[in-house]
Amino acid sequence: MNTTAASEKIGFIGLGLMGHGIAKNIIDKGYSLTFLGRKNRAPAEDLLGRGAKEAATSRDVAAASDIVFICVTGSREVEAIIRGPGGLKEGLKKGSAVVDCSTSDPTSTVTLAAELKPLGVDYVDAPLSRTPKEAWEGTLDAMV
């Protein structure tokens, strides 16, 4: 583990097969991480054991973070995470960024970026390739 604390506060939503590995690597590189847990408690318990903090809502993840990663199934889920009650949009600060690692519809991505721009929030489309094995090893490919 890198013992030098990084300055950016990272948020993470989507602790599935890919997301858990990505989040683990963020912590292991010395970043502060706040995540939204899920019904499957194993990834959350692992991250808590590594020093991450769990938030109750997407809004809380945003409020605690400079950069928020979303790693979920697709556009419908991303839109709900951003726009829904207690969503990211309610907690994002000016100067923060949202990085969508989901396989999202380009039309939805462009619309979300336009919605967040007036708030001073950057929206980054960064779908992934490879497998959960590479996510755990920290060797995924991201197409930003």
**Could you state, in chain order, the average pLDDT of each consecutive group of 10 residues for the chain (144 residues)?**
68 96 96 93 96 97 98 96 97 97 94 98 93 86 87
Q: What is the model's pTM?
A: 0.92
Q: What is the pLDDT of residue 23?
A: 97
CB-side neighbour CA atoms (13 Å) of 82: 27
Query: What are the structural domains of the chain?
Result: 9-142 (3.40.50.720)
Q: What is the pLDDT of residue 104?
A: 92
Q: Are residues 79 and 112 in contact, defined by beta-carbon separation less than 8 angstroms?
A: yes
Radius of gyration of the chain, Cα coordinates, nearest whole angstrom? 14
Q: What is the pLDDT of residue 5?
A: 57
Question: What whole-number distance in Å separates Cα of residue 105 and Cα of residue 107?
Answer: 5
* Antiparallel, parallel or unpaired: β 9-13 and 67-70: parallel
Helical spans, DSSP H, in 74-143: 75-83, 106-116, 132-137
Q: Are residues 126 and 78 in contact, defined by beta-carbon separation less than 8 angstroms?
A: no
CB-CB neighbours of 103 under 10 Å: 12
Q: What is the pLDDT of residue 139?
A: 85
* Amino acid residing at 127: P
Q: What is the pLDDT of residue 67?
A: 98
Residue 49 CB contacts under 8 Å (≥ 6 apart), including other chains: none
> How many angstroms separate the Cα of 125 from the Cα of each of 77, 133, 139?
15, 22, 18
